[in-house]
């Protein structure tokens, strides 16, 4: 940043003002300015998605509670709400910090420093992608969530689950409690939310109804509100939840992936001496740094909207 | 524009790391607190969701400000550049408020329709002309 500015500063001092040419708007290079404006447009894209999420969530009668849906982690950890996604946030924050160090080394024309810190940034980004891949695999493979199916729901009134004979059991819940509908095929999977249920055949049972796809809709009796006394079955949660989650985190993950790809390419270019010969303080590293910080910034808001709210 | 020395810049980076990490942890803690994971029963307080939501939204905006101004160097750029990027983004604040309100309104209207559909109205056998239509309309 300092190197190009010194050059431009001299030019604008020769003539009065910027209309004489030989100076750059805002005293930044074309590439950096255009990167900022690309990021601005991308911010609007993500804002559109997050606003759509908000509008659909507010309009839904019930919505799966994030700290119930996202309470698993690798190595069999469950009942750890939001812990895994917090680790993912830290990965991106650390990779942003290493990126800042890479840019600083670039300003000092320190080639080896740039490569070192960029390598750490790439490792952080790839780690984030790995974590996101695990999250998706867990949601799709173990918990059977998809773009059209959402087995996470929440109760709108208090009630008590029915036992094997169709009588109220001791398992009660309050309005707003979340549930996950399991599938009946698997025996012996240690899915995080599985609580040792046996394989039920399709059709009606005293305590549950198993649909064509194998989802177990548990039956319960309502104990509050206008429908007290009625027996109902668990229904799928709002479809929008799955669609929005995969679409938005997928879009963000795609940005992380392309960011890692670009970081790799630019790091290889740094190693080959391309930027050293330009003598502009490794401005290319700074530009991809802007993109990488943007990716982190979007994650701050995706994290806020999907997981914290 | 402040020209930091190399050592100062490195220290600022470490400070930034701890700041962002600390604020993230606080956010997660407050969010879990509001959902009743730290002290059970908090979730039952009806109005708790709103101030909790506002606090964590504010913390996220502070993180965004820090990332943009320090990591992306906006603080050291020409003011005009900052304005051309941040002023359009600030327009999104109203878009957010408007659409969240829109979503709430959809829900309220749907519940209203459901409630009305569930009601049964007894019609008077006598044909009282437009007066009866007026009553039906208001029911």
CATH 1.20.120.80 location in chain A = 40-147+240-308
Rg from Cα positions in chain A: 26
Judge whether A111 and A300 are in contact, CB under 8 Å: no
A chain contacts of residue B80, beta-carbon cutoff 8 Å: 25-26
Check: CB of residue A136 under 8 Å from CB of residue A72. no
Q: Please indicate if any CB of chain B lies within 8 Å of the CB of A158.
A: no
Helix/strand/coil percentages in chain A, nearest 5: 55, 10, 35
Kindly report the average pLDDT of chain B as a whole number.
85
Q: Residue A25's pLDDT is what?
A: 86
The verdict on a CB contact (< 8 Å) between B73 and A1 is yes
- Residue pLDDT, tens place only, B40-54: 877 777 788 888 999
What dihedral do alpha carbons A26, A29, A34, A39 form, nearest 10°? -80
Structure tokens at B109: 């209207």
Question: What residue spans define the domains of chain B?
Answer: 6-138
Whether B63 and A300 lie within 8 Å, measured CB to CB: yes
Neighboring chain B residues of A90 at a CB cutoff of 8 Å: 21, 24
DSSP state of A179: E
pLDDT of residue B137: 59
N-terminal to C-terminal alpha carbon distance within chain A: 38
- What ipTM was reported for this prediction? 0.83
β-bridge pairing A203-204 and A178-180 = unpaired
Tell me the chain B residues in contact with residue A104 when contact means C-beta distances shorter than 8 Å: 6, 9-10, 13
Give the percent of chain B with pLDDT over 70.
85
Taking the CA of residue B128 and the nearest CA in chain A, the distance in Å comes to 34
Q: How far is B131 from chain A (nearest CA, A)?
A: 33
The residue among A280, A294, A244 whose CA lies nearest residue A29 is A280
Integer angstrom CA distances of residue B100 from A58, A105, A170, A247: 7, 44, 39, 20
Give phi and psi for A155, each to the nearest 5. -75, 145
Residue A24: CB partners within 8 Å, gap ≥ 6? Answer: A4, A8, A30, A33
Chain-centroid distance, C-alpha B132? 46
Task: Give chain B as a 3 state SS string.
Answer: CCCCCHHHHHHHHHHHHHHHHHHHHHHHHHHHHHCCCCCCCHHHCHHHHHHHHHHHHHHHHHHHHHHHHHHCCHHHCCHHHHHHHHHHHHHHHHHHHHHHHHHHHHHHHHHHHHHHHHCCCCCCCCCCCHHHHHHHHHC
Residue A36 forms contact with B (CB below 8 Å): yes
How close does chain A come to B38, measured CA to CA in Å?
Answer: 11
Q: Report yes or no: A176 at the B interface, CB cutoff 8 Å.
A: yes
- CA distances (Å), origin B54, targets A157, B24, B51, B58, B98: 27, 15, 5, 6, 16
Confidence (pLDDT) at A261: 98
Give the dihedral sign, CA A101/A103/A104/A105. positive
Identify all chain A residues contacting B81, using CB atoms and an 8 Å cutoff.
Answer: 26, 28, 33, 36
Q: Which residue, among A154, A190, A174, has the nearest Cα to A72 in the 3D structure?
A: A190
User: What's the distance, CA A196 to chain centroid?
Assistant: 30
Of A25, A54, A97, the CB nearest to B99: A54
Residue A203 backbone dihedrals phi, psi, to 5 degrees? 115, -165
DSSP state of A182: P
B65 in reach of chain A (CB within 8 A): no
pTM: 0.85
**Beta-carbon pairs below 8 A across chains A and B:** 138
Q: Any chain A CB within 8 A of the CB of B9?
A: yes
CA–CA separation, B34 and A300 (whole Å): 19
Option in B60, B67, B76 nearest A96 (CB): B67
Three-state DSSP state, A199: coil
Of residues B128 and A120, which shows the higher confidence score?
Answer: A120
pLDDT tens, chain A, 309 aa long: 556 555 555 554 554 566 777 788 898 999 999 999 999 999 999 999 999 999 999 999 888 888 888 988 898 888 888 999 999 999 999 999 999 999 999 999 999 999 999 999 999 999 999 999 999 999 998 889 988 889 998 888 889 998 888 888 888 888 888 889 988 865 444 444 444 455 678 888 888 889 888 899 999 898 888 888 888 888 898 989 999 999 999 999 999 999 999 999 999 999 999 999 888 889 999 999 999 999 999 999 999 999 988
Shortest Cα–Cα distance, B83 to chain A (Å): 11
Q: B135 or B102: whose pLDDT is higher?
A: B102
CA atoms of B51 and B56, how far apart (whole Å): 9
Residue numbers of A between 94 and 153 with CB closer than 8 Å to B: 94, 96-97, 99-101, 104, 108
Q: Which residue, among A39, A51, A292, would best test binding to B if mutated, counting the most B CBs under 10 Å from its CB?
A: A51
Residues in A closer than 8 angstroms to B104, CB to CB, are 58-59
Interface of B with A in 89-108 (CB under 8 A): 89, 92, 95-96, 99-100, 102-104, 106-107
B131 — pLDDT class (breaks 50, 70, 90): low
B4 → chain A, closest CA residue:
A104
In this structure, which CATH number among 3.40.50.10540, 1.20.120.80, 1.10.3300.10, 1.10.3470.10 belongs to the domain A40-147+240-308? 1.20.120.80
Q: Report the C-alpha gap between A179 and A200 in whole angstroms.
A: 18
């Amino acid at each position: 940043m300092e190197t190009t500015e010194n050059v431009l500063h001299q030019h604008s001092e020769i003539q009065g003002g910027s209309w004489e040419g030989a100076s750059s708007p805002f005293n930044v290079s074309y590439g950096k300015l255009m990167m900022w404006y690309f990021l601005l447009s991308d911010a609007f894209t993500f804002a559109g998605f997050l606003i759509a999420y908000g509008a659909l969530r507010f309009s839904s009668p019930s919505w799966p509670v994030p700290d119930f849906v996202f309470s698993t982690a690798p190595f069999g950890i469950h009942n750890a709400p939001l812990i895994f996604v917090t680790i993912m946030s830290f990965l991106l924050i650390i990779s942003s910090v290493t990126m800042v160090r890479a840019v600083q080394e670039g300003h000092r024309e320190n080639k080896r420093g740039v490569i070192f810190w960029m390598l750490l940034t790439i490792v952080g980004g790839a780690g984030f992608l790995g974590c996101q891949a695990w999250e998706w695999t867990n949601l799709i493979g173990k918990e059977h969530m998809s773009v059209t199916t959402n087995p996470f729901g929440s109760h709108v009134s208090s009630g008590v689950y029915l036992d094997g004979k169709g009588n109220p059991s001791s398992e009660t819940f309050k309005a707003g409690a979340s549930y996950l509908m399991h599938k009946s095929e698997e025996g012996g999977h240690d899915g995080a939310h599985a609580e040792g249920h046996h394989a039920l055949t399709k059709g009606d049972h005293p305590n549950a109804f198993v649909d064509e796809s194998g989802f177990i809709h548990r039956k319960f009796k309502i104990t509050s509100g206008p429908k007290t006394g009625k027996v109902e079955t668990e229904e799928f949660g709002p479809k929008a939840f799955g669609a929005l989650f995969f679409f938005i985190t997928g879009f963000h993950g795609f940005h992380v992936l392309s960011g890692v790809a670009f970081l790799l390419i630019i790091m290889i270019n740094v190693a080959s001496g391309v930027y050293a010969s330009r003598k502009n303080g490794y401005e290319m590293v700074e530009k991809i740094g802007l993109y990488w910080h943007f990716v982190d910034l979007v994650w701050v808001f995706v994290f806020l909207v999907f997981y914290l709210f | 524009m402040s020209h930091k020395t190399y050592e100062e810049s490195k220290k600022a980076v470490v400070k930034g790391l701890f700041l962002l990490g600390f604020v993230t942890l606080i956010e997660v803690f407050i969010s879990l607190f509001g959902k009743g994971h730290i002290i059970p029963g908090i979730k039952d307080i009806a109005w708790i969701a709103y101030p909790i939501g506002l606090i964590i939204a504010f913390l996220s905006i502070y993180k965004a400000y820090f990332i943009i101004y320090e990591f992306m160097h906006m603080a050291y750029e020409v003011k005009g550049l900052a304005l051309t990027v941040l002023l359009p983004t600030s327009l999104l604040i109203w878009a957010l408020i408007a659409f969240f309100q829109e979503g709430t309104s959809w829900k309220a209207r749907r519940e209203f329709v459901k409630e009305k559909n569930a009601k049964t109205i007894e019609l008077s056998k006598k044909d009282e002309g437009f007066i009866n239509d007026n009553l039906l309309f208001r029911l």
